[in-house]
Structure formats: structure tokens, C-alpha cells
Amino acid sequence: MSMDESLANKLNTFFGRFKVTSSSAKANRASPNNADGAIGAANGACAESAIEQRPLIIMESDMRRVFKRVNTRKAAGPDCICSRVLKACGDQLALVFTNIFNLSLTPGIVPSIFKRSTIVPVPKKPRPSGLNDYCPVAFTSVVMKCLEKLIRDFITSLLPASMDPLQFAYRHNRSTDDAIAHLLHTTLTHLDNGRSNYVKILLVKYSSAFNTIIPF
């Protein structure tokens, strides 16, 4: 076995250490002996009932719009469907994928090819010395990304307007720059008031936060 093949196998094991089977994940959530699982199942039922009142139905115009906004610099996923093709042939492909996505949303089943991804390890530093020095970058299907954007817009429309004003992530026209600006403003205002000459800040960093999320 070559050094490159050995490193690839080690990275594959390292990146997949959080992987759980969908059957065990569902059993853990819905187990009657698991309080957290029962609460999660109840919350999921409430969320599902709320969405059932207003089902997501994708229109051909929605598909055409999202295809026209595809970033052509994005790499293709395992399905090898190029983003340039979707953008250039959006009018011709809109109806096709509208039918595919609606057939997928009705039973709640996503085609397996759309859920696959190609993992590329990108070094975090010029000379990586360990497996943790590599960041896994997943190349997923561009078509699936288009569906995710439509679902995101649908879910966002269901959210209440009274969301936490200090939530800067995953919100339109919000970014990390806004979070930093708010922190600086709060800090400088506190110091200018003369109540204290110092500020204590607690910063928490989650390691592999997104890798530990169990998908449904």
C-alpha cells in the first residue's frame, strides 16, 4: 500500500468517525426510554404538522429562477451535473427538475445520488502534521443545492418575525462582520460609560460542530 493510499484510508476513517446509521439515529430519537428522543420526536411531529398546513410545492418558475442564479464556479458533485449546464439550459431543464423535486418532496424521499458527496481533504496549514490538520470539503450535487435553497426559502417564510436580534448566522443580510461590530460597539460603550476599565468576554469554540449533527 502506497503512502498516499494509506493517508487516504486514515483520513476516510477520521472524517467518518461521527457517522451513524440512519436506523440507529431514528431509534435513538424515538425510543420511549430516551427523554431527549421523545422530546425530539414530539417537536418533529409539531414541525411536521405545521408544514403540512402549508405544503411545499415547487413551481417551474421557482426552478427557473434558482437555476439562473447558480454559481458557475461551483464544482460538480458525484452526479457530474455541471453548474454551467444548469444555468445555460435552465429554461429547458426547469420543468424536468420541477417534476423530480415534487415527486421527491411528496413522500419525503431524496434520490440517493443527490445525497452523495466527494470529500476532498484540504490542509489547514502549509505543513500538516496530523489528521486534524485537514479540513474535509464536500463536493455535493449542484442540483441538490438548488433544492436546498428552495427548501430554505420555504422554511424561512414559516419562521416568526420575532427572532433573536443577536442571531447573525443563517440570516439574510447578516454576517460575522455584524457580530464583530455589535461586540465592539457593546464593549466600547461599556468602557465609555466609565463603569469599569475592563471587559470580560467568554468565547466558546465547538470542535467539529457540523460533523456531530445527526441528519434526519
- Among 162, 163, 166, which Cα is nearest to 174's? 166
116 φ/ψ angles, rounded to the nearest 5 degrees: -80, 155
Block mean pLDDT (10 aa), the chain, length 216:
75 74 49 42 47 76 95 90 93 95 90 86 87 86 93 86 82 88 93 85 79 59
pLDDT of residue 3: 59
CA quadruple 183, 157, 55, 48: dihedral, nearest 10: 30
First and final CA of the chain: distance in angstroms?
A: 36
Using DSSP's 3-state secondary structure scheme, residue 167 falls into coil
Domain ranges across the chain: 3-25+51-162
pLDDT of residue 32: 41
pLDDT of residue 51: 45
pLDDT of residue 2: 58
pLDDT of residue 39: 36
Are the beta carbons of 117 and 76 closer than 8 angstroms? no
Give the DSSP letter string of 18-57: G---HHHHHHHHH-TT-HHHHHHHHHHHHHHHHHHTS---
Using DSSP's 3-state secondary structure scheme, residue 123 falls into strand
| Number of C-beta neighbours around residue 140 at 10 A | 19
Answering whether pTM is above 0.95, one says no
Joined together, the cell numbers standing for residue 164 give 433573536
pLDDT of residue 5: 82
